[in-house]
């Protein structure tokens, strides 16, 4: 009997009637524990493993449902009757499913992953613009002083609020860049320098600001009691 996989709401853009993950045999309609790349077939990427389209702007519920359905279908208890080798194969496929799910859970993870698929290095050093560098210098000074100077702490709070506002704007830009990449992928042009450069730049800025916010929050976590008595 074929495995029946769950699916998202019917109006979801990523709602296939039945998911077709890589481990799923299309001819038999069942999980195939012996599934290996066919001659000329590349190793499956995270999208293929979960049976989802290669897009950054995926429906979050679709990702969760694909993961949950596959993990349930590959549960070792289903294969004990077939012996230890079948159980080991099920566990191996489950591991790949978990890796794919973890790699695609967030928009930023998907953005970074598709860059690697097109040969880009998503960890390439980001070069911040001049105005952001000025803020970074001010933040570094305030971070150094935040543990013992109330005025520096106030300044750091103001800078943090501005960094958080910039981060919200970058999230919107990343969604726009992801939509542009998805359109290029649908047109067979996802490897174009324009789509990749836009995605890489916005993703780099997001990570850069995240680092600043993390450092500022860590400095602000210093207890007020650390200030010297007047």
Confirm if 17 and 7 have CB atoms less than 8 A apart.
yes
Q: What percent of the chain has pLDDT over 90?
A: 38
- Integer CA distances (angstroms), 205 to 45, 160, 181, 215, 223, in order: 26, 16, 17, 16, 30
Confirm if 190 and 178 have CB atoms less than 8 A apart.
no
The pLDDT value given to residue 228:
42
Token duo for residue 82:
């077939």
What phi and psi values does residue 107 have, to the nearest 5 degrees?
Answer: -60, -45
Average pLDDT over residues 68-95: 92
Q: What percent of the chain has pLDDT over 70?
A: 87
Mean pLDDT of the chain: 83
Confirm if 3 and 14 have CB atoms less than 8 A apart.
no
The pLDDT value given to residue 111:
93
- Integer CA distances (angstroms), 33 to 30, 49, 86, 182, 218, in order: 9, 13, 7, 31, 47
In angstroms, how far is the first alpha carbon of the chain from the final one? 78
The pLDDT value given to residue 27:
74
pLDDT tens-place string over residues 115-156: 998 887 777 777 888 888 888 888 888 888 887 888 888 989
For residues 97 and 95, give the distance between their C-alpha atoms in angstroms, rounded to a whole number: 5
Q: Of the ranges 11-15, 20-24, 40-44, which one carries the lowest mean pLDDT score?
A: 11-15
C-alpha Rg value of the chain to the nearest Å: 23
- Integer CA distances (angstroms), 106 to 103, 216, 230, in order: 8, 23, 48
- pLDDT band at residue 224, thresholds of 50, 70 and 90? low
For residues 147 and 218, give the distance between their C-alpha atoms in angstroms, rounded to a whole number: 10
The pLDDT value given to residue 19:
62
For residues 180 and 183, give the distance between their C-alpha atoms in angstroms, rounded to a whole number: 5
Confirm if 87 and 75 have CB atoms less than 8 A apart.
no
- pLDDT band at residue 190, thresholds of 50, 70 and 90? low
The pLDDT value given to residue 42:
84
CA torsion through residues 188, 191, 194, 197, sign: positive
For residues 17 and 28, give the distance between their C-alpha atoms in angstroms, rounded to a whole number: 17
pLDDT tens-place string over residues 97-116: 999 999 999 999 999 999 99
Token duo for residue 8:
């998202």
The pLDDT value given to residue 1:
26
């Amino acid at each position: 009997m074929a495995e029946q996989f769950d699916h998202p709401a019917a109006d979801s853009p990523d709602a296939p009637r039945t998911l077709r993950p890589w481990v799923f045999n299309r001819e038999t309609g069942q999980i195939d524990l012996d599934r290996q790349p066919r001659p000329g077939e590349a190793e499956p990427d995270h999208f293929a493993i979960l049976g989802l389209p290669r897009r950054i702007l995926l429906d979050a519920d679709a990702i969760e449902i694909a993961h949950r359905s596959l993990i349930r279908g590959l549960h070792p208890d289903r294969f004990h009757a077939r012996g230890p080798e079948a159980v080991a194969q099920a566990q191996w496929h489950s591991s790949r499913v978990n890796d794919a799910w973890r790699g695609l859970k967030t928009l930023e993870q998907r953005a970074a992953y598709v860059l690697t698929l097109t040969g880009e290095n998503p960890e390439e050093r980001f070069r911040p613009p001049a105005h952001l560098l000025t803020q970074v210098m001010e933040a570094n000074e305030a971070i150094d002083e935040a543990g013992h100077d109330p005025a520096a702490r106030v300044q750091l709070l103001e800078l943090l609020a501005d960094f958080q506002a910039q981060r919200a704007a970058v999230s919107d830009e990343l969604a726009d860049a992801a939509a542009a990449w998805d359109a290029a992928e649908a047109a067979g042009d996802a490897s174009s320098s324009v789509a990749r450069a836009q995605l890489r730049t916005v993703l780099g800025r997001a990570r850069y600001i995240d680092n600043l916010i993390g450092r500022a929050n860590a400095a602000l976590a210093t207890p007020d009691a650390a200030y010297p008595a007047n």
